[in-house]
Amino acid sequence: MTIAIDADRLRADIEETAAFGETDAAEGRGRTVLTGTEANRQAREYLVDRMEGAGLDVTVDAVGNVAGTWTPDGADPDAAPVAAGSHLDSVPEGGIFDGPLGVYAALEAVRAMQEADVSLDRPVAVVSFTEEEGQRFADGLLGSSVAAGDRAVEEALALTADDGVTLEAALSGIGFRGEGCLDAAEWDAWYELHIEQDTTLSEADVPVGVVTTITGITHLDVEIRGEANHAGATHMRDRTDALAAAAELVLDVEAAAEDVVETASDSAVGTVGSLDVTPNATNVVPGRVGAGVDVRDVTYDSMEAVVDAVRDTLDRIETERGVETEFARPFDLRPTPMSERLRETAHRAGGEAGLDTLDLHSGAAHDTMHVADVTDASLLFAPSREGISHNPREWTDWDDCAAATRVMAGAIADAAGAE
C-alpha cells in the first residue's frame, strides 16, 4: 500500500523540536536535550500536543515513556497494536535528526493513514522512549529497557544523575512522571526509523535501509598496574611502565579486530576508547592505566575472538613486562536480529512506493534492541550525509526523511492489516 506523506508537516515537527535545547554551532544545527531538563519538558509537551491534535489517546508511564494510540474505525480495540517511534533526548551538542526523526515519522505515518482513510485491523501506537542516549541517568536505552521488562520501574526511578537528582525527581519536576508501565510485549510489531549514522545508503544512493541485525556490544574494563617512578632517575631497564604495556593492548585490539575482519566478519570492530593514566605527569613513569575497550559485531563469535585476544594480551604483558592486570566485562549485549516478517513488509512497502531499499546492519545500539526481546521488531534507516551523527553537522535530506517515512507508513499499514 502506498500512503502519501506530508513532507512539509514532517519537516516542521522536526524543526520545531530542534529549537528546544538549541545550541550555538559554527556549522549545522545542534541541540542538547537531557532527560528531565527544561528542554526535555518542551520537547515532550510539543509531542503530546501534536499527538492529541491527531486524535491519539496519550499516556505517560512511570519512567516517562510517552505513547499515543490511534484506534481506527473498524479496528479491533483489543487487538495487539503495531507500535512505532524512537526518542527525543540527545547527546550534548548533538544533531536534530537522531531520535526525533523516528518519533515524528511514526506520528506522520498515522496522520497520513488517517487522511487516506486506511482501514486497519489493529490500533497503531506512536512511542517516545525516555533516555535512549544515556547522558544523565543510565548507560542508554533506559525507557525501552523498562518497557521490555529488562529493568524494573523502581530501579529506573532510583537512578541518580551526577548532580544528585533521581530520575523520579527529574521526571516529576517536568510533569512527566506518569503511572503504570508501557509493555512492549503487548505489541504485535514494532518499527523504528533512524538516521543511519554511516555512509552505506548514501554511497549506494538508496533512500531506505532495512536493518538485518543490530550489532552486539561488549565493554571491557582493563586495569594495568606497574610502578610509578621518576622519569629521569629511573633507568630504562628498571621500569615497569603501565602505559607502555597499555600501548601494546591498544595495538593488539586493533590487530585482533582487523584479523577478524579479514577472516570471519567484515563488520567487526574493536576500539580502546578511553585511557585513565596515573599519576598522569610528564616527569613520572606511569604506574597505573585503566582502559575501556569496546567490541562490536553482528556475530557473537567474532566478538568473542577479539575478547579472547584481549585476555591473551594481558597474560603476555604480565609475563613480558612484569605488570599486574585485571579484567572485567561489565556490559555484554549480544547481536539482535530483526524480524523477517517485518523486514518483508518494509521491502514490500518500498517496492509499492517505487523506492529502493537495501539490507544492511546497524553498528549502533537502538531502543529496538530491547523491544526485539519481547516482540517482532524492525529498524529502518534513512541516509546520513557523510555518516556524521551526535554532532550539529548531522544531516539527512528532507526528501530522504519523507521517503523513509513513506516506506515505514506502508509497512505499518501492512502489518496492521490494511485493506
Report DSSP letters for 136-154, one per residue: SSSSS-HHHHHHTTSS-HH
* Burial profile 387-411: b = 16 or more Cβ within 10 angstroms, e = fewer: bbbbbbbbbbeeebbbbbbbbbbbb
Reduced to 3 DSSP states, what percent helix, strand and coil does the chain have, rounded to the nearest 5?
Answer: 35, 25, 40
Q: What would the grid cell of residue 296 be?
A: 562490536
Amino acid 393: pLDDT: 97
Handedness of CA 102, 103, 106, 109 (dihedral sign): negative
Amino acid 18: pLDDT: 98
User: What are the pLDDT tens digits along the chain (419 aa)?
Assistant: 789 999 999 999 999 999 999 999 999 999 999 999 999 999 999 999 999 999 999 999 999 999 999 999 999 999 999 999 999 999 999 999 999 999 999 999 999 999 999 999 999 999 999 999 999 998 889 999 999 999 999 999 999 999 999 999 999 999 999 999 999 999 999 999 999 999 999 999 999 999 999 999 999 999 999 999 999 999 999 999 999 999 999 999 999 999 999 999 999 999 999 999 999 999 999 999 999 999 999 999 999 999 999 999 999 999 999 999 999 999 898 999 999 999 999 999 999 999 999 999 999 999 999 999 999 999 999 999 999 999 999 999 999 999 999 999 999 999 999 87
Amino acid 2: pLDDT: 80
Comparing CA positions, the residue from 328, 364, 87, 67 lying closest to residue 217 is 364
Q: Which domains does the chain have, with CATH numbers?
A: 7-215+335-415 (3.40.630.10), 216-333 (3.30.70.360)
CA atoms in the 13 A half-sphere facing the CB of 110: 31
Type of residue numbered 130: T
CA distance 185 to 276: 41
> Which region holds residue 205: left if phi is over 0, alpha if psi is between -120 and 50, else beta?
left
DSSP secondary structure letter of residue 362: E
Cα separations (Å) of 274 from 19, 303, 308, 316, 369? 32, 19, 19, 21, 25
pTM to 2 decimals?
Answer: 0.92
DSSP secondary structure letter of residue 117: T
**128 in Cβ contact with 44 (< 8 Å):** yes
Amino acid 227: pLDDT: 98
Backbone dihedral angles phi then psi of residue 193, each to the nearest 5 degrees: -105, 130
**336 in Cβ contact with 211 (< 8 Å):** no
Type of residue numbered 36: G
DSSP secondary structure letter of residue 81: P
CA distance 220 to 321: 21
